[in-house]
Chain A
Amino acid sequence: MKRSIKNITLISTFVLSSSVALIASDLTKAYDMPDASKLIEKDLLKEPTKFTMPKSCNLDDAEAIKRGAFFFHNLNGKKAKGEAPKGVKKFTEKKGKDGKMKKKPKQFGNCVACHNIEGAKGGGNIGPDLTNYKKVFVDSKTRDAQFVYQKIADARIDNPKTHMTINLTTKLFDESEICDLTAYVMSEKKQTKEK
């Protein structure tokens, strides 16, 4: 009898003191601090990767050059003006969490954000001016197709500290799309607006 009373007081002091502690001082869970580490972990950029330009790349193909131009001058399918060239989709369909198909704009290169080039509207200057690229860099044998392909695919191989976007290692584009961009950059362009 005596013992059980003692137990009860013991339990009640314990309950009392812990709830007091909760009210008076435990504020360590009283605010939101959501976890971001997993999000970041999954989003990390992979190691610099060497690529070889596929033999199937046809740099003289007018259709490829058109697609490349479209990727170069546009940010994504939602913002892209005008009709997409043959073989390019502005949107992709993906199954959402609710099982419904969702339309997602395809991401393009937005290369013009950093590079000036023939016909650029609001071209940036973080990267070198690519105007007259064929004459200045290709015909002079300063650059070849493999160099340009690798630069666009993963610029870190040539320049570990590059500020340029990484386009193939990240799977933003696939191989044939990198071919299209390479074809466009290396092609001879008219000085007039061409997009």
Chain B
Amino acid sequence: MKKLLLPLALMVTIASSGEQFAMSDADRAMYKEMLENNPADIFVEEGGEILDEMLGGEEALAKFLGVSEKELPKYIAGFPRYIKKLGNVVGIDQVLQAMQIEQGKEKTKLKSGKMFSMLAYVKSLANDEQFTIDINADEHIKASYDLGKTTFETARGGRGLSCLSCHSADIVGQVLRTQPLPDLGKAGAGATWPAYRMTKSSLRTLQRRFQGCMKNALLKVIPIGSKEMVGLEVYVSTLAQEAKQPIAIPGLKR
């Protein structure tokens, strides 16, 4: 419960001055209600069940990753990370796909609700942990971070915007049409997705959230799981890590 108090405090302060903002009083009441009872909890639970039944649960996951079950939470808190036998810096979802293939099962699509649930469950194993991403651990993670940062800063699309146009430090807290611009680090964006997105009434992942911003700002939407998306996840997660925001899955978002 504690983990969710911060975003509420933030929402209440930014949303206190009435109609200029996107969240109405009714929305806020609903948000408070959902904090007690995150609708995404059942998806996370379901993700755990699928992992158990299809792949052998945490034990099998730990084994696949070459760590003990006890070490698993801290290790999960280091994703996306370089996995030697996969040959790339990958997200948790891609690890799950590789496990499926290794066990002769069908690969679940990265953008499917089922995968979002499994990913949310696995990341929730690291709840209350700080991120442990070490961008100097090897050349692969360094390259992924650099690609993510570049992707974040690259202006493109119909309006010539980059992520930085709206998420740079100098305009945090300013208002884009009724929506206050969040500080992605302090808001713990990397640490609080997968989250229940109230406006979409569903569980969404961090990369899926990136796609939302791309679509809104007319940047060509790039596919989940691409090197650039994984890099963006590394980059945005390190912002939460620097701001010392603990992992708290599932998050709850407007």
| Bound Cα distance A92, B8 (Å) | 42
In A165-183, which residues have CB < 8 Å from any B CB? 165-167, 169-170, 172
| Bound Cα distance A34, B229 (Å) | 10
A-B contact count (CB 8 A): 119
The residue on B at minimum CB distance from A122 is B178
| Bound Cα distance A72, B252 (Å) | 33
The residue on B at minimum CB distance from A76 is B218
Q: Which of B85, B102, B228 contacts A36 (CB 8 A)?
A: B228
The residue on B at minimum CB distance from A113 is B177
State how many angstroms separate the Cβ of B82 from the closest Cβ of chain A.
12
The residue on A at minimum CB distance from B96 is A31
| Bound Cα distance A33, B87 (Å) | 11
A58 close to B (CB within 8 Å) = no
A40 close to B (CB within 8 Å) = yes
State whether A25 and B157 are in contact (beta carbons under 8 Å apart), knowing that A32-B94, A107-B218, A113-B177 are contacts in the complex.
no
Q: Which of A31, A34, A112, A166 contacts B98 (CB 8 A)?
A: A31
Residues of chain B with a CB closer than 8 A to A166's CB = 155, 159-161
Q: Is the CB of B156 within 8 A of A34?
A: no
Q: Is the CB of A31 within 8 A of B154?
A: no
Q: Is the CB of B175 within 8 A of A170?
A: no
Residues of chain A with a CB closer than 8 A to B102's CB = 27, 30
Q: Is the CB of B85 within 8 A of A27?
A: yes
Q: Is the CB of B175 within 8 A of A44?
A: no
State how many angstroms separate the Cβ of B110 from the closest Cβ of chain A.
5
Q: Is the CB of B178 within 8 A of A27?
A: no
| Bound Cα distance A37, B160 (Å) | 17
Residues of chain B with a CB closer than 8 A to A35's CB = 226
Q: Is the CB of A31 within 8 A of B90?
A: yes
B95 close to A (CB within 8 Å) = yes
The residue on A at minimum CB distance from B230 is A33
Q: Which of B87, B174, B225, B229 contacts A28 (CB 8 A)?
A: B87
Q: Is the CB of B218 within 8 A of A31?
A: no
State whether A126 and B174 are in contact (beta carbons under 8 Å apart), knowing that A37-B228, A40-B228, A163-B165 are contacts in the complex.
yes
Residues of chain B with a CB closer than 8 A to A25's CB = 85
The size bracket of the interface on B is 35 or more
| Bound Cα distance A187, B94 (Å) | 55
| Bound Cα distance A28, B87 (Å) | 5
Residues of chain B with a CB closer than 8 A to A34's CB = 223-226
B202 close to A (CB within 8 Å) = no
State whether A30 and B98 are in contact (beta carbons under 8 Å apart), knowing that A37-B228, A124-B176, A125-B174 are contacts in the complex.
yes
Q: Is the CB of B101 within 8 A of A30?
A: yes
A interface, by DSSP: helix, strand, loop or mixed? loop
| Bound Cα distance A168, B90 (Å) | 38
Residues of chain A with a CB closer than 8 A to B227's CB = 33, 36-37
In B77-108, which residues have CB < 8 Å from any A CB? 85-88, 90, 94-95, 97-98, 101-102, 107
For B155-170 the 0/1 string (1 means CB < 8 A from A) is 1111111000110100
B220 close to A (CB within 8 Å) = yes
Residues of chain B with a CB closer than 8 A to A39's CB = 220, 222
Q: Which of A31, A40, A165 contacts B107 (CB 8 A)?
A: A31
10 contacts between A and B (CB under 8 A): A32-B97, A32-B110, A34-B225, A37-B228, A45-B157, A126-B175, A126-B181, A167-B159, A169-B160, A172-B218
Having A31-B86, A31-B107, one finds 11 other A-B pairs with CB under 8 Å, namely A27-B98, A30-B97, A30-B107, A31-B97, A33-B230, A43-B157, A45-B156, A125-B174, A126-B174, A163-B166, A170-B160
Residues of chain B whose beta carbon lies under 8 Å from any beta carbon of chain A: 20, 85-88, 90, 94-95, 97-98, 101-102, 107, 109-110, 151, 154-161, 165-166, 168, 171, 174-178, 181, 218-220, 222-230
Q: Which 7 pairs show the lowest CB-CB distances between chains A and B? A: A166-B160, A36-B226, A30-B101, A28-B87, A36-B222, A31-B97, A113-B177
